[in-house]
Amino acid sequence: MKKFFIQTTGLVALMSLIVACGDNNKDPEVPVVVEVVVPDTPEVEAPEAAKIMNGGFEDDAAGETTATGNWVFRPDQEPTAFSTINIIESEEGVNTYKGTKAVEVNVNTLGDNPWGIEIAYEDLPITGGKNYEFSVWAKGEEGTSADFWIQTPAPDYGQLSLVKETLTGEWQKITLIAATAEADSLVRLAIHFSKEENINKSIYLDEFSGFILDDVPAEEIPDVQYSEVTAQSLKALAPNFNIGVAVPAGGFSNSIIDRAEIRTIVEQHFNQLSAENIMKPTYLQPTQGEFFYDDSDELVNYAKDNSLTIHGHVFVWHSQIAPWMQSFQGDKAAWITMMENHITQVATHFEEEGDNDTVVSWDVVNEAFMENGKYRGEKTTNDSADESVWFENIGAEFLPLSYKAARAADPDADLYYNDYNLIWNADKLDAVINMVNDFQTNGVPIDGIGFQSHISLNSPDISTIQAHLQKVVDIRPKIKVKITELDVRMNNEGGIPLTYLTSERADEQKQYYYDIVKTYLETVPEDQRGGITIWGVIDEDSWLQNWPEPTTEWPLLFFNDYTPKPALQGVADALQELIEVAEPEPSAELLTNGDFEAGLDSWQSRGSATISLEITQAHSGNNSALVQGRTETWNGLQKDVKGLFTAGKTYNVSAWVKLSDDSTAVSPGVKLTLQIEHASTEYLELTTVTNVVAGDWVQLSGTYTHSITTEESAALLYVESNELTADFYVDDVSVTLVEQ
């Protein structure tokens, strides 16, 4: 509180006059000082500013192409983009908002990448868990535009805020609100200009600033109850049908090799893999003549170890080719030789002897046609995407030459042409079909067409999908039809974007996935089915989270916590309804659930051992039993088989065992034993002791003649090992009668 002291001189004089009139014997009052207390005026504290160095570019000189501070100017992040970005000097209010300096962006040529032309302030320190307001002043000719981003730093570029602004010809303030996570410590301010309306026009930027806002309560996301998912295994519902998924290996953040949760899902539900990126030209031949197979070999070996096949992606594409290919110098013959050599080297590397190939099919050429049905590279549009070094240097001949080279290098693989929008664009699909007809007329090998199928919920409609699949089914001679890259975008249909997946929206996605798979199976005859591949495992790994801009999407079959979405059930329901699974021939097998496909039903732990159902390892089928925690050699896995054996009869007895540690040097002896309780207790060795080495399933087998004639009170069949430290999987335990 503030205190003021006021001397009341006038008041004293008045009082003195009154006193004099009434009683002049009294002395006048001494002046009174009155203390008046005035409430404080609260001082307004300025919000804490974000520490943007050189936000107004006043520290720079005109003509500079690199600004002081954390600024980065990127006029051409790819070869097909070209622009100029530099500091300019101008009178305040003309081409600078404040002061005499600003940034000028002049766009000349767009690239394929919508982020190809960019300015960015990298690694701005912030306080996590706070809300920020950032702003910049922009000016551009009326109708120009830019995208203003607040992102997490590279390499994630997670979206915190986005404003797409159309400029008016006057200076205007662009404001973005961003909520940072507790773990955030840096953000990135970025502006992108790769837009048709900006070509040959200038945009000016000035006065970047930011500050912390008062706390704003975060949106509360409800606990959504999604419809039940009961599907246990997609591949079990369609044992002779390719159910694929795209995954990377190597050093990628979502590498299947480094993520046990992803491996569990893949091994439970899928029987085919597509290499997401690591088999594209830029990865396999980054330098001319030097091939890099480490990552793709890792994926192939993983597939082989888990009885999966691989669809190779891709030999020839206009995109994701190494810079040396993009700038290759030579005449048409040299270009043909270079292209054919790449195909031959790669296909030969993955070709295996005999008919047990892991890489069973290839996208030979990817995306060679524009939306108007013309070859990419003919330059029939003004779209900068209408470029292809293959067409421009070889001509349309590059297509048949690619397929001939692929067939020569790998005679057994199915060879596909792969493209996007074929599932709804009739002009493009008709052009591809005409190419296939021409191939077949001229003896060029091709086995199928791949429909990428990156689509949105209920778009295209099912009748369009059916009609386009039917067009390929009707090609003669017959070729295969494969849905190669299926995902269903959920959050891009206008209106207010969803911040979480509602149960209603999830059920719509379930129905659409069901309809797509059902339509495929009803339209494509069994001998023309190449299969269906989902382009990713969990939602957060989908490329759609960042294409064409960072967003929140739920396009795949599994949530980010690896739990199944209702969409998985939609796929499973269609497979179960439309795929006919042949009933197995009557078996001489006497033992029930020896393959653990019914879980651990009727199996128990023996001694101190613990047993659990394992869905990531199986000798056949989908399941096995894992035995752990043994403290005695007789500890293990057992099953009650009382009454199974008959005196005088002979049986073939078998079990498959695999060590749980593929790197162990221990090679324990393992055997199958029968414990019989009758007049006494007997332990009968049904198989000889067999050494099991790491990394392989090993069979225990033997022939057993049952000679006990007295009535048994108990009978237990069990697997035991002489090595107490050994944990192992057991599968396909079998007892069959030998006919005599």
Supply the residues annotated as catalytic.
367, 485
Closest CA to 154 of 123, 110, 113: 123
List all residues 6 or more positions away from 244 whose beta carbon is below 8 Å from its beta carbon: 270, 271, 272, 273, 274, 311, 531, 532, 533, 534
Closest CA to 234 of 573, 697, 723: 573
Give the dihedral sign, CA 221/513/303/612.
Answer: positive
The owner of tokens 């940072």 is 180
Query: Which pairing describes strands 480-489 and 448-451: parallel, antiparallel, or unpaired?
Result: parallel
- Retrieve residue 574's tokens: 């269609």
What SS3 class is residue 305?
Answer: helix
CA–CA gap between residue 535 and residue 557 (Å, rounded): 10
Amino acid 720 reads: E
The owner of tokens 């030209």 is 281
Closest CA to 467 of 527, 511, 425: 425
**DSSP code at position 636:** E
CA–CA gap between residue 193 and residue 704 (Å, rounded): 78
The owner of tokens 């998912």 is 229
Q: Are 344 and 405 in contact (CB under 8 A)?
A: yes
What SS3 class is residue 657?
Answer: strand
Q: Are 244 and 278 in contact (CB under 8 A)?
A: no
CA angle 693, 695, 699 (to 5 degrees): 60
Question: Residue-wise over 95-133: b if at least 16 C-beta within 10 A, else e?
Answer: bbbeebbbbbbbbeebbbbbbbbbbbbeebebeeebebb
